[in-house]
Structure formats: C-alpha cells, structure tokens
Amino acid sequence: MGFLADALSRVQPSATIAVTQKARELKAQGRDIISLSVGEPDFDTPENIKKAAIDAIVRGETKYTPVSGITPLREAIVKKFKRENGLDYKASQTIVCTGGKQVLYNAFVSTLNKGDEVIIPAPYWVSYPDMVLLCGGEPVFVPTTLEKGFKLQAADLDRAITPRTKWIILNSPSNPSGAAYTRDELKAITDVLVRHPHVWVLTDDMYEHLTFGDFVFTTPAQIEPNLMDRTLTMNGVSKAYAMTGWRIGYAAGPDKLMKAMDMVQGQQTSGACSISQWAAVEALNGPQDFIQVSRKAFEGRRDLVVSMLNQASLLDCPMPEGAFYVYPSCARAIGKTTQSGKVIKTDEDFVTELLEAEGVAAVHGTAFGLGPNFRISYATSNELLEDACAKIQRFTASLR
C-alpha cells in the first residue's frame, strides 16, 4: 500500500502553471520573455473596494464568519442575481467560498459517487476534469469544433448523456476559448437538459462581465426556469473586479445542495476571509463603472490580437465573444520544421518552440482537451501584445 491516496494518481499538475514556471526559469536566465499564459486581469483592484477592506480591518471585522458567508454579502449576492440575471434566490440558498475553485470542489465532493459521470465540453478549463477525478467521478468529454465556435452542440450533448450522468459543466464566456453562448444557442442546450431530469447543471459564469460588442450574457436558469431546482449558478469577483488574490467566489442553488456544500466547507476551510468578504460586498453593491472600463480595454486588445494572429502564416484565429483569451488553431503548422531543425508534431511542440525561439509563452490546446490549438491570454498591455504577436508572426513565417 502506497502512502499517497489513490485518487491523487488520477490528477495532473496544472499545465498553465507549468508553462508559467518554464517562462519564469527562462526569464531568470536573462531571456526576454513575454508571458501570455496567465489567467488574471492585469488591472489593480478598484480603490473603493480596497478601501472597504481597510475599513473592515479598522472596524475589527477580523473574526471567523458564518461558514456560508456574512449576511451582507449573501444579501448582495441575492441582489446581484436578481439585478443582472433575473434570478430569484433566497440568501439561504447562497454560499460564499474561497474562490470559484472552492465552489466547484464543494459541489463535486458533496454529490459525486464512484462512477458518476460529469459532462465537460472541450476545450475546458483545466481544473474541471481534475476536480471531478479527485472527487471520485468520471469526466466525460464532448469535443466542440472551431467551425462551430467551440460551442457544445445539442445533438452531441444528447448523445453524451447516460443514466450515470450527474452533472454537466457549462462555462460561458469560456476559458480557454473565449466563446460565449447566445440566448438561442444556450436554449438549444437547456432544451436537451429539460428532457433529462436526472442531470444537474453547474454553470460557471466567472467571465459574465467580459463580453464584447452587443453580445448579451445569459445563464441557464434564466433561460429555462424549469432547471432552477437542479442548477448551481456560480460566479465570483476574481475576473469582474480584478480581485484574483482576494479569493472570493460564490454560488446559488437548490436548498439540499447548498446545505451539503455548507457542511463540506464547515469541515474544510469554514467561512472565507472576513476582510475579503467585506471587500466583495462593496464590489457587488458599489459603483460598477470599473466593469465598463476593463471591458473596453479587453475588447480593444481582443481585436488587436485576433487581427495580428490572422495575419500570421499558418494560424487561424476565430473571434471570441468574451473573456480575455483567444484560442487559435495551429493545425497548418503541424509537420513543419523550425529554423533549429525541430519538427513540430503537436501543439505542445508548437508552444515549446515558440517559447525557445521568440520568448513568447502560451499554453498548448491539448492541455484544455482540444488541439492542435494554443491559448493566449491577452490580459496585458497593448504594447506587449503587439510585440508578442509580431514575434509569433516571425516564428510562423520561419517554419519550413
């Protein structure tokens, strides 16, 4: 019998963290590296939110909080879901967690039994399958295509559902593709789910506020109220308010699930950081103008990056609706040879050689379950993005 838990052999370290580490090592060797691998806004947290946290410290809000969160924050979450999503939840149906990550973990650990299946459209955020595996479930991947905008198709979902399906994870706008479902596209998905009453829906709406142009964000329980009693609607302040380090995520759902998640969290971390919770109250209840400012900045960067990548030879970059990622295909670069004589056989080879040759760090698509592609996070300055895209253009032009 080994010392480590069997479940651990089922999970992998995060590929995005591995790329970031490699880039850091090259930087330490003195190389000029542009890292486009990180998944967080480059903006600072807005001043009013920081001040709310400082005020909370001064007031002495420094003790344990209730497990599912302080009442003012749970009430702010109820108001947010009503105001922005037209959803009616009671404060008792909400939970505040240490990041969106803990929402997912609580949900899976409190519901998955051995052999339970969780449908995950690919490409997916790296943590979904590993969390499912850690909690004893089986991820079931449903691939999407670039031609269909990396969006799950109703017929493919229908085919993937079995009597063992417990959850489907939906994530719009998506990490890693930036794809976001229109109301009609999401309705096609919820129509299938209505016909399968044993399947629960976990909707990860973390990038809700980062959509561009006239795109209108919608969430499953809003489109199909019949799904309300089997949907966990998850969101957070990390991406919307540039608060990744504060570690506050939240969710709302049916009573029996929320009670179970509260129990799990009570034996694990208890309430999230008291100071961060007060900061999140201000984020949700205070002025919302930061969202428009960051959305405008990200939209300009998306346009810049998509245009420059489509000018690069051998790359095809679709225009995503949201988030701060693009997910170009490098299929036409497979089989080509670099200046240093290496043959590019996979998307992982592509990003490795790109990093070696030009010092630009991106993450290979197979890490997100769909390739040959790569993910670029454009949460950095226009100047660096222009420089990085010019280097990518030079790299693809050099392939023979």
Ligand X SMILES: Cc1ncc(COP(=O)(O)O)c(C=O)c1O
Query: Least distance from C-beta 101 to ligand X, angstroms?
Result: 4
Ramachandran category for residue 347: left, alpha or beta (phi over 0 → left; psi -120 to 50 → alpha): alpha
Hey, which bits of the chain come out as E strands? 34-35, 94-97, 117-122, 138-143, 165-171, 200-204, 231-236, 249-252, 325-326, 360-361, 363-364, 374-377
**∠ CA 226-199-113, rounded to 5°:** 140
Residue 65 vs 171, nearer CB to ligand X? 171
**Interface size with ligand X, residues (CB under 6 A):** 13
Which CB sits closer to ligand X, 359 or 369?
369
Q: Which is nearer to ligand X, 39 or 139 (CB)?
A: 39
Task: Work out whether 39 is an interface residue with ligand X (CB under 6 A).
Answer: yes
Residues 168-197 close enough to bind ligand X by CB under 6 A: 171, 175
Site membership for ligand X, residue 377 (CB under 6 A): no
Give φ, ψ of 293 to 5 degrees.
Answer: -65, -50
Q: What is the spatial distance between Cα 122 and Cα 112, in angstroms, rounded to a whole number?
A: 21
* Residues 89/93/97/100 CA torsion (nearest 10 deg): -50
By CB neighbour count within 10 A (0-12 exposed, 13-18 middle, 19+ buried), where does 262 fall?
A: middle
SS (H, E, C) 203-216: EECCCCCCECCCCC
Which of the stretches 21-29, 195-203, 236-244, 286-294 binds ligand X when contact is defined by CB under 6 A?
236-244
| 247 versus 391: smaller Cβ distance to ligand X | 247
d(CA 283, CA 398): 47
If binding is defined by CB under 6 A, does position 365 make contact with ligand X? no
What is the helix, strand, coil percentage profile of the chain, to 5?
45, 15, 40
Nearest to ligand X of 125, 350 (CB atom): 125
Contact between 41 and ligand X by CB under 6 A: the answer reads no
Task: Determine, following the binding rule CB under 6 A, whether residue 10 of this chain makes contact with ligand X.
Answer: no
Residue sitting closest to ligand X (CB): 99
Q: Which of 178, 236, 371, 372 binds ligand X (CB under 6 A)?
A: 236
Which is closer to ligand X, CB of 175 or CB of 233? 175
Between residues 234 and 333, which has the closer beta carbon with respect to ligand X?
Answer: 234
Query: Residue 99 or residue 137: which is nearer to ligand X going by CB?
Result: 99
**Measured CA angle at 128 (ends 5, 121), to 5 deg:** 135
What track of x and - describes contact with ligand X for positions 88 through 107 (by CB under 6 A)? -----------xxx------
Q: What are phi and psi of 364, to 5 degrees?
A: -70, 145
CB of 45 to ligand X, least distance (A): 13
Q: Verify binding: residue 46, ligand X, rule CB under 6 A.
A: no
State the Cα–Cα distance between residues 79 and 359, nearest whole angstrom. Answer: 45
Query: Which residues have a Cβ under 8 Å from the Cβ of 192 and sit 6 or more positions away?
Result: 154, 157, 158, 161
124 is a contact residue toward ligand X (CB under 6 A): no
Mark 305-344 with x for binding to ligand X (rule: CB under 6 A) and - for no binding: ----------------------------------------
Binding residues for ligand X, per CB under 6 A? 39, 99-101, 125, 171, 175, 204, 206, 236, 238, 244, 249
